Structure formats: C-alpha cells, structure tokens
Amino acid sequence: MVTASKKFQVQQHLKTSKHIRLKAVKSNSAQKEQQLLLACSSKSGPDRSQFNADLCKAFVSADIPLHKLNNKCLKSFLEQYTGKKVPDESTLRKNYVSQLFKDTMEIIRRKACGKKIWVSLDETTHYVRPPMYETCTNRLAIALVTDDLSGASQHVGASNIINKQ
C-alpha cells in the first residue's frame, strides 16, 4: 500500500520497476492458483460427485433418512471402508435429491409411455383403541402399468378422477 497526497505521486509509483514486478508476480500467482483449483476440482470432482450421487440413491432407495449420515459411527464406518469423505446430509439434500427425483420420474415416464395406467388410492381411516384416538393413513397410491387393462375393469367397484391438490 502506498500513501500519497497528490495524484502525481501515485502515477510515479505505478511506473516504478518494483510496482510493475510485484504486479506481475501477483498476477501469475493468481493464475496458477486458479489453474491449480481447476485441476484439483476436475480430478476429484466427478469422482466425489458420483460417490455422493450413489450414496444418496442408496439411502433414498433403501428408505433410510439422510439425517442418519450425521451419526458419527455410521459416518466413520463409511469413510473407513470406502476411502471417501461422506458428505453432510444437507449437501445431499440440496445437490442430489432433486436430480435423483428427476431421473426416477424419467424412468417411470419411459416405462409408462403409450401404456394404460391403473391407480389405486387408499385413504381409509383406521381406529386404534381407545376409540378417541383416530389415525388416518397416508395416502397410499399404487400404480400398475400394463399394455392391457381389460381384466382389471371387472374388479373395480368404483372409480373416480382425483384432481391433484
């Protein structure tokens, strides 16, 4: 940093060999640092992100809540035997769950394309003793994708079109 009370002093300083040399050194080191960061991220980035994507897919498909990754014992076990750094659950939730959902929906769309779809929705209310406690099950939707639904109509007691709410 150079202190100057007049403009010509700053202009003189900018022309000195010391300023020019240090400016070049700083510029080169910034470029090298940026290249190093890019090189590091390109080497470990795809590998790490693939591990994170696979880990997220494994937990979601096994119906294991992602917050279980915060368990120190589980985290150290996974890191020890995979040799990878296990990401925080929020990282997976923010960066991988939405893509996993999109991929799954695309698979369903491809499988269901051009086929008839039968959906069963169960919203029954179950009573638990004592009678004052009432629990309602979550909506259970079962979809059957098939080429032929001719036999299914014989077993349907009632059917309604349900609007998405």
pTM: 0.47
Distance, in Å, from the CA atom of 112 to the CA atom of 108, rounded to the nearest integer, reads: 6
Inside any domain, residue 61: yes
What is the predicted pLDDT for the residue at 24?
A: 86
What is the predicted pLDDT for the residue at 80?
A: 94
Domain range enclosing 147 = 114-154
What is the predicted pLDDT for the residue at 12?
A: 87
Task: Return the HEC string of 100-112.
Answer: HHHHHHHHHHHHH
What is the predicted pLDDT for the residue at 7?
A: 84
**121 and 140 belong to one structural domain:** yes
Distance, in Å, from the CA atom of 36 to the CA atom of 76, rounded to the nearest integer, reads: 29
What is the predicted pLDDT for the residue at 148?
A: 58
Distance, in Å, from the CA atom of 65 to the CA atom of 92, rounded to the nearest integer, reads: 11
**103 and 129 belong to one structural domain:** no
Inside any domain, residue 164: no
What is the predicted pLDDT for the residue at 133?
A: 44
What is the predicted pLDDT for the residue at 112?
A: 80
What is the predicted pLDDT for the residue at 59?
A: 94
What is the full per-residue pLDDT of the chain (165 aa) written as tens digits? 656 678 888 888 889 999 898 888 888 777 777 766 655 544 444 445 899 999 999 999 998 999 999 999 999 999 999 999 999 999 999 999 998 989 888 888 888 887 777 666 666 665 555 544 444 444 445 556 566 555 544 444 445 555 555
**23 and 100 belong to one structural domain:** yes
Inside any domain, residue 118: yes
**40 and 98 belong to one structural domain:** yes
